Structures are given as structure tokens and as C-alpha cells.
Chain A
Amino acid sequence: EAGVTQSPTHLIKTRGQQATLRCSPISGHTSVYWYQQALGLGLQFLLWYDEGEERNRGNFPPRFSGRQFPNYSSELNVNALELEDSALYLCASSLGTSLAKNIQYFGAGTRLSVL
């Protein structure tokens, strides 16, 4: 069974541009989560989507947005890129949100570099 897949593996952008990161969850998982791992700041929760709806959002500006498609895959969009957006972006998926199903399985991440 395939795990969580993320693309691209690496992404290089310049300040002010937009970045789009993609994530495919494990088959059967309906929840997708996005985290940012920046140097010195650790792993920070960004967004959670379940059944196509945004369910929760971390403390990030509105230029971080995303969506979940009917097949449960997800996109993270970062507009007006800033240098401090350089980080590893991790996507995770889970079966659901009940206590019995909320183990989050992570992809290998997309490393975004903003020059």
C-alpha cells in the first residue's frame, strides 16, 4: 500500500512568487494535514482538511491557503513568498478524527527554498 506522497520533492522560488505543493493521502484516508518545519522554529501545524472542508488552521497568515479535492488529495498554496517561508513542508493523512483513527502518517515532504 502506498504511503503519503508529496510533490515536488524540492521547489525553488524567488521572493514574491507563488508556490503550489501537492499531497496524496494514503488510500482510504479522508483527513489531510499540513505542517511547516523551518530551521529554529520546529514543526508547526498549518492546516487540516477533512472531507473537502478546512477544519482547523494554525497561526499562519492568509497567504498560506489550500484545498482538498474530491479524491482527498490536497494542495498547499503559498502566495507572495517571503524568505522565511523556506522550510520543509510536510503533509500527513489519517483515517479520521476519532480517537481510534487519528494517527497521522507523514509524507517525505517538499523542501521549499525562497531566494
Chain B
Amino acid sequence: SQQGEEDPQALSIQEGENATMNCSYKTSINNLQWYRQNSGRGLVHLILIRSNEREKHSGRLRVTLDTSKKSSSLLITASRAADTASYFCATEYAGGTSYGKLTFGQGTILTVHP
């Protein structure tokens, strides 16, 4: 079963606008990762943030992590039509039977209109 919740489920914006997606999870994590998927194909890794980090940047991407609220957000600035895709957060939970596996949220479908 999915452990993460993402919102919104769908987001439609104009090129040049910023897009913010949120992810919540349930138990302690080692790290949280964001992935992009284009049209039901393979996932592309975007960024990883560890449980002891609060914010991370990569190009137009900014990820925040609040472990007290068990939530993360992905901000894409100055969006482009090519950013149109599904975005997933994935958590690696700490310890036990969760070792090594990623638990994915349901994803946010982002549509950027030119």
C-alpha cells in the first residue's frame, strides 16, 4: 500500500509560473527522493534529501523536508512545457523490513501550458 500522500493530484499552470507539489509520509525515514515520469515511461531521479537536511537545490528545483511534520515539498521555478510529467515522492523508511525499498506516493500530474 502507498505510504505517501501527495497533493495536489493534478496541477495545471502556464509556462514561467512556479509549481509546488507536496508530499506527506507516515514513519521515520532515511531519505526522501523526488522522481519524474513522462507518459508512463521510466522514472527519472530528480533530487534526494536526507533526513538530517532541511532544504536542497538543484537547478530550478528546490526541495524542503520537515521531519517534524513528516512532509516535503518540491518547487519547480520558471516552469517550461517540457516539465509536463508526473512527479512522485519516494521515501526510504528507516530500518526493519523497509530496508532498501522505496515507497512511492500516488504522484502529482503537472501540466505546463505554453
Whether A25 sits at the interface, judged by CB under 8 Å, is no
Specify the main secondary structure of chain A where it touches its partner: strand
Interface hub of B43, B99, B107 (most chain A Cβ within 10 A): B43
- CB of A33 within 8 A of CB of B101, answer yes
Question: Number of residues in A with C-beta < 8 Å to the partner?
Answer: 27
Q: Scan residues 15-50 of chain B and give those whose CB is less than 8 A from a CB of chain A.
A: 30-31, 33, 35, 40-45, 48, 50
Answer yes or no: B114 CB below 8 A from chain A CBs. no
Q: Are A33 and B100 neighbours in the complex by a CB distance under 8 Å?
A: yes
CB neighbours (8 Å) of B61 from chain A are none
Contact, CB under 8 Å: A103 / B100: no
What CA separation (Å) do A43 and B30 show in the bound complex?
19
Q: Which of A31, A42, A102, A107 contacts B31 (CB 8 A)?
A: A102
Given known A42-B2, A42-B107, A43-B88, contact A109–B100 (CB-CB < 8 A) = no
Q: A102-B31, A106-B42, A107-B42 are contacts. A42–B100 as well, Cβ < 8 Å?
A: no
Chain A positions 63-110 with a Cβ under 8 Å from a chain B Cβ: 88, 90, 92, 97, 99, 102-109
A38-61, CB under 8 A of B: which get 1 and which 0?
A: 000011110010100001101000
Write the residues of chain B forming the contact surface with A, with a CB cutoff of 8 angstroms: 2, 30-31, 33, 35, 40-45, 48, 50, 88, 90, 92, 97, 99-107
